[in-house]
Chains A and B, each alone.
Chain A
Amino acid sequence: MMDHIWDAFYTGQRRMARFPAALWTDEDYTIEFSGTNPKKMRFMLDARVGATKLRIPYPVAGSIQVYADGKKKSMTPWDDALGRNGPLTKNKGCGENRFVGIENFLEFYITPGCLIEIEPKDSIMTKVRMDWSLAEFYSDGGTTRFVDRLAASLGISSSRIKTVAIYEGSVVV
């Protein structure tokens, strides 16, 4: 056996991280990595018909940007009832996507011949649950006060925090 490289104190092999997988289209699939997820990836589907929705779980908080054929794609609209970006409709074309914070998974839709590229955004999506009523929350300054306090505790500018939705749960921001 020949080692290819030294990696700190250990020897290792160089191996291309490129994988083909035959699949039945028009089904949904989950890709789980046994190691740390790559940050940047690309995906392509070669098929006569059909398409597929892929889900990729992430072990850490973050957010992912999806590009389809080089074009930046926004996430699905926020769903107040679900408290997260809405599920994929599968009728918005290649690149429809959402990243669900807390549960930390990315979902995107890929059609034949479309190149999907993903890379991390420099932000974290999170959800805060507070033991307040909605009335108490707003009487104490609401989202502005909440963002100011969070920014102060994190030591960052309040302009870097975006409140996406507030709903009663008791109060979930």
Chain B
Amino acid sequence: MNDGKDLMPTMSSSLPIYKSHGEGNWGGTIKVEKVDFVNFLGKSRCGARHVVFESNPDGSDKIPPHSFNSCKFTNVDDIGFAFLNKPNPGWANVKDCGNFPCTAPNNLIFSFKGTTYSGAMPSASSRDFTLVPDDKQVAGTYPGCNHKPAMQAYVCLTNNIGMLMFESLDEDAWDRAI
């Protein structure tokens, strides 16, 4: 983050801890290896949403690509697999994102390789696939993607989806619209 925090904590973190407190990072990638996910069937005993993957509802600027290698899903169905949040329309204001909501949720990439399943399975139970958000203008144009409304996502039978980052390094980058 770019918010210039002290090296050592001087106070407790603001809650919720997953909320973004700075600008989107340039780099960062998340790798998950050989993790078993067991018994995610969409609802908790109290009826709350209970899914393996849910995007950060406060991640407005950048969510790094996630790579899952050799993970196993046991008793995980479509509804319990994922729920990808859409951009908050409230972000579309001059102070925050400008004329439209920031698009990090639409650029989310969960890439899976060597995946195995047992018990209840999601309908798109492939070894290698990529989970991307329910954005018809982006994922809807990729070949080999299946729309999954319950997840608010597309499941794409490919690993050819990547994230391009670009940034102005000019001195006036912070106060000049490009």
A93 adjacent to chain B (CB < 8 Å) = no
Most buried by B among A5, A37, A49: A49
Interface size for B (C-beta < 8 A) is: 46
B45 adjacent to chain A (CB < 8 Å) = no
CB <8 Å contact, B65 and A42: no
Cα-based distance from A24 to B94 in the complex (angstroms): 30
A46 adjacent to chain B (CB < 8 Å) = yes
B44 adjacent to chain A (CB < 8 Å) = no
B163 adjacent to chain A (CB < 8 Å) = yes
CB <8 Å contact, B165 and A22: no
**Number of contacts between A and B (CB, 8 Å)?**
146
CB <8 Å contact, B166 and A42: yes
CB <8 Å contact, B24 and A5: no
- Nearest Cβ on chain B to A144's Cβ, whole angstroms: 39
CB <8 Å contact, A48 and B67: yes
A1 CB contacts on chain B under 8 angstroms: 93-95
Which residues 131-157 of B sit at the A interface, judged by CB distance below 8 A? 132, 138, 141-143
- Across the interface, B107 reaches (CB within 8 A) one of A5, A17, A21, A54, namely A21
- Across the interface, B163 reaches (CB within 8 A) one of A4, A7, A47, namely A47
Cα-based distance from A112 to B164 in the complex (angstroms): 9
Cα-based distance from A98 to B107 in the complex (angstroms): 29
CB <8 Å contact, A19 and B138: no
Interface size class of A (residues with CB under 8 A): 35 or more
A135 CB contacts on chain B under 8 angstroms: none
Known: A1-B95, A36-B178. A20 touches B173 (CB 8 A): no
- Nearest Cβ on chain A to B65's Cβ, whole angstroms: 5
B15 adjacent to chain A (CB < 8 Å) = no
- Across the interface, A22 reaches (CB within 8 A) one of B67, B93, B98, B161, namely B161
Spell out B's residues near A (CB within 8 Å).
Answer: 2, 23-24, 26-27, 29, 61-62, 64-65, 67, 93-95, 98, 103-104, 106-109, 111, 113, 132, 138, 141-143, 159-170, 173-178
User: Besides the contacts A21-B166, A24-B161, what 14 more A-B pairs have beta carbons closer than 8 Å?
Assistant: A7-B175, A13-B95, A16-B173, A18-B61, A18-B62, A18-B165, A20-B163, A22-B109, A24-B142, A36-B176, A38-B173, A39-B170, A48-B162, A54-B164
Closest 6 CB pairs of A and B: A47-B162, A38-B168, A17-B168, A40-B169, A18-B167, A22-B107
